[in-house]
């Protein structure tokens, strides 16, 4: 006996799922905002100032609450992207040139001697798309890959223009410095976007790239010990003719 849901159009399922995410985000946002507001009042209360120990605990609680609010916002964003109601602001820009600005900012792992460098084409990836969202997507990719590296590693974002079947594609290969070419030549496998410690930024980033007509994948490691390719990522976005 078939379930009614089995015959339900995919679009209806996605709309229902997006509505559920939107409702959940709203229900989480309200109490989290209230808690954050009271914690902020405690932080700034001059009539009954907190002790140093109390201040530290309240500060940690406020930071954790702020993180919850940020994740709720990301949850809402995923629902909007999946239901195609997320606001879109398209403008012409050069993706490769913008990545230089992102790379300069994303260096919070430098204290562990983990760095990000750019190579390849400095410009030439002209497109008309949601610039702010795409830049934020690459920011998320860079931060996630840098975060999981051991110490003393240089990651490279190699920018390439690939021509195939009358189509030019902007290709960004993010891998360890010694593994760029191997990553480019390896077979593709799905990119694991569910990684701890980075919130929902990677699922959002993947959706943003796909919304621009692109694709995100990871190269297949040669063996279980191949840590180089396990920490690599490839993003491709077709450019307008």
Q: Is the pLDDT of residue 1 over 60?
A: no
3-state secondary structure of 125: coil
For residue 17, give every residue at least 6 positions away whose Cβ sits within 8 Å of its Cβ, in sequence order, or none.
79, 82
pLDDT given for residue 15 in this prediction: 64
pLDDT given for residue 8 in this prediction: 53
pLDDT given for residue 239 in this prediction: 95
> Which of 193, 176, 192, 194 has its CA nearest to residue 184?
176
Distance of CA 61 to the CA centre of its chain: 25
Q: How far apart are CA 32 and CA 26, in angstroms?
A: 10
Q: How far apart are CA 194 and CA 192, in angstroms?
A: 6
Domain 90-238 has CATH 3.20.20.140: no
- Residue 160 vs residue 226, higher pLDDT: 160
pLDDT given for residue 235 in this prediction: 97
pLDDT given for residue 160 in this prediction: 97
pLDDT given for residue 22 in this prediction: 75
pLDDT given for residue 6 in this prediction: 54
Q: Give CA separation, 35 vs 46, 51, 59, 66, 75, in Å.
A: 19, 20, 13, 10, 19
pLDDT given for residue 26 in this prediction: 76
pLDDT given for residue 145 in this prediction: 93
Rg (CA), the chain: 21
pLDDT given for residue 155 in this prediction: 93
Q: Is the pLDDT of residue 12 over 70?
A: no
* Tokens found for residue 21: 């995410």
Q: How far apart are CA 33 and CA 39, in angstroms?
A: 10
Predicted model pTM = 0.81
Q: Is the pLDDT of residue 91 over 80?
A: yes
b or e along 219-232 (b: 16 or more beta carbons within 10 Å of the residue's beta carbon)?
Answer: bebeeeebebbebb
Concatenating the DSSP letter of every residue in 129-162 gives EEHHHHHHHHHHHHHHHHHT--SSEEEEEEEEEE
Please report, for the chain, the start and end positions of each structural domain, with discontinuous segments joined by +. 4-82, 90-238
């Amino acid at each position: 006996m078939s379930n009614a849901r089995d015959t339900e159009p995919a679009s209806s399922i996605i709309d229902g799922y997006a509505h559920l995410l939107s409702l959940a985000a709203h229900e989480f946002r309200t109490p989290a905002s209230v808690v954050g507001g009271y914690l902020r009042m405690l932080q700034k209360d001059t009539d009954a100032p907190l002790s140093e120990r109390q201040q530290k605990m309240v500060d940690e609680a406020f930071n954790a609450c702020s993180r919850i609010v940020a994740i709720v916002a990301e949850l809402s964003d995923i629902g909007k992207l999946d239901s195609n109601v997320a606001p879109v602001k398209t403008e012409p820009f050069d993706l490769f040139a913008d990545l230089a600005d992102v790379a300069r900012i994303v260096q919070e792992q430098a204290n562990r001697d983990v760095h990000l460098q750019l190579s390849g084409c400095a410009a030439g990836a002209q497109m008309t798309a949601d610039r702010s969202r795409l830049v934020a997507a690459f920011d998320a990719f860079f931060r996630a890959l840098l975060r999981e590296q051991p110490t003393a590693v240089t990651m490279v974002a190699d920018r390439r223009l690939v021509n195939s079947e009358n189509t030019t594609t902007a290709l960004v290969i993010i891998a360890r410095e010694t593994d760029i070419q191997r990553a480019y030549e390896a077979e593709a496998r799905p990119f694991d976007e569910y990684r701890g410690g980075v919130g929902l930024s990677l699922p959002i980033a993947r959706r943003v790239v796909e919304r621009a007509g692109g694709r995100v994948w990871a190269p297949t490691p040669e063996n279980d010990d191949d840590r180089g390719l396990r920490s690599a990522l490839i993003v491709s976005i077709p450019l307008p003719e």
